[in-house]
Amino acid sequence: MPHLHTEPGQHDLTVGAYIFRTDFDQPKLLMHMHKKLNKWLQFGGHVELDETPWQAIAHEIEEESGYQLSQLQLLQPEERMRKISLANLHPQPFAVNTHPFNDEHYHTVLEYVFTTTEDPQGVVEEDESQELRLFTREEIKALPDAEMYPGSRDICLYLFDTILPSWQPVDPLDYHL
């Protein structure tokens, strides 16, 4: 989807999904080589005008990785809101950040983390990056800045070191799409 806000200083709301495979001797993070930016990145994209952030994460994961939410576990903190009256409660992102997309435009991203022990049931959509790779923590740490943004590396290492060992897996389908 194209940027919704195109004037200088404007922000688009985006979502990001980090998917870990936990069926190896150590966790591995699935990333894709972004076609336009030529960097290893998480899956994700813009929240469209007719969807919630949680709906956006579901369709971006399926389009870019071939995974369906039913194949994944969502990581959430033990202490979290579990019910709210008269509203749909969305899962808690592990991070919310704003970063420049270019010199005049920004993305504010809600970041989520998932685990799985299986291969995707679907296929990556034809117009999406077909270059996917699983990375160990040490492989992420060793990637040069030319292949991964330093901020993305910071997030990945935080996930390996802090979120994976402390947040609990929950069924992502427990949240309303």
Residue ranges with strand state E in the chain:
10-21, 28-33, 40-41, 43-46, 73-76, 95-100, 105-116, 132-135, 168-170
The answer to whether residue 66 sits within a structural domain is: yes
How many Å separate Cα 49 from the centre of its chain? Answer: 19
Count of structural domains within the chain: 1
Task: Determine the Cα–Cα distance for residues 146 and 168; give it in Å rounded to an integer.
Answer: 33
Task: Determine the Cα–Cα distance for residues 79 and 75; give it in Å rounded to an integer.
Answer: 12
| pLDDT, tens only, 103-134 | 778 889 999 999 999 999 999 999 999 999 99
The answer to whether residue 135 sits within a structural domain is: yes
CATH of the domain at 25: 3.90.79.10
Task: Determine the Cα–Cα distance for residues 72 and 107; give it in Å rounded to an integer.
Answer: 26
| pLDDT, tens only, 47-83 | 998 999 999 999 999 999 999 999 999 999 999 998 8
The answer to whether residue 2 sits within a structural domain is: no
The answer to whether residue 112 sits within a structural domain is: yes
